[in-house]
Every structure is written in C-alpha cells, then in structure tokens.
Amino acid sequence: MSDPIFLRSLISNTVYAEQINSAQIQGQQAAKERANHALHETLRQEATKVKALEDSAEIGVREEHQKERQTHQESEAQDDQGSPASDEAEEKEIIASDAYHSIDVTI
C-alpha cells in the first residue's frame, strides 16, 4: 500500500494548487472588470465632449443664421427706405440690360 503521509501531502498540495489557480482566475477577472470599467468611463467622457462640441456648433450655426437673417432684414429695410429716384435708376438699368441682351432679327 501507499504511504498515507505521502497521499495526505499529495492531496494537500493538489488542494493548495487549486486554491492558487482559483485566486489567479479571480484576479484576472477583476483586472478585466477594472479595465472594462476604465474603458467605459473613458468612452463616456469622450461622448460627453462630443455632445458638448455638437451643442456648441449648433449654437454657433444658429447665431450665424440669426445674424444673416438680421443683416438681410436690415438690407431690406434700407431698400424700402431708398429714394424713388434710385428705384427709377435701377429700373432703367434693368431695362437697358434687357435691351442689350435682346437680339434684333429684322430682315
């Protein structure tokens, strides 16, 4: 028969090796979870930055459109306040331009 002390030692070493293996696996899983959490946090921060940039760009575009509309309205208001003489001159210029572009086909 086998030596009982040897068998007891073998069993003890096997149990100890299993405990070490289990601890290593748990450590690896914990490291993966920490890495995943850090990655998730980084992605969340980047998404927040992108959202802030998009909001900022949208605000900038709105302000630009508002300025364009305001400039357009101001120019229309100035056109409405223009003198009749300038309106007549503009009309004559348009008529002259049309006459220049028309073709005389008399034979």
Task: Domain ranges for the chain, please list them.
Answer: 4-82
Q: What confidence score (pLDDT) does residue 49 get?
A: 93
pTM score, two decimals? Answer: 0.47
Structure tokens at 106: 């008399």
Distance of CA 28 to the CA centre of its chain: 35
Distance CA 23, CA 17 (A): 10
pLDDT in tens, 36-79: 999 999 999 999 999 998 888 888 888 888 888 888 888 877 76
Residue that the structure tokens 């306040």 belong to: 81
Nearest to 73 by CA among 62, 81, 85: 81
* 18-37 pLDDT, tens digit each: 999 999 999 999 999 999 99
Give pLDDT, residue 18.
Answer: 96
Helix (H, G, I), strand (E, B) or coil at 8: helix
pLDDT at 26: 97
Task: Tell me the one-letter amino acid at 99.
Answer: A
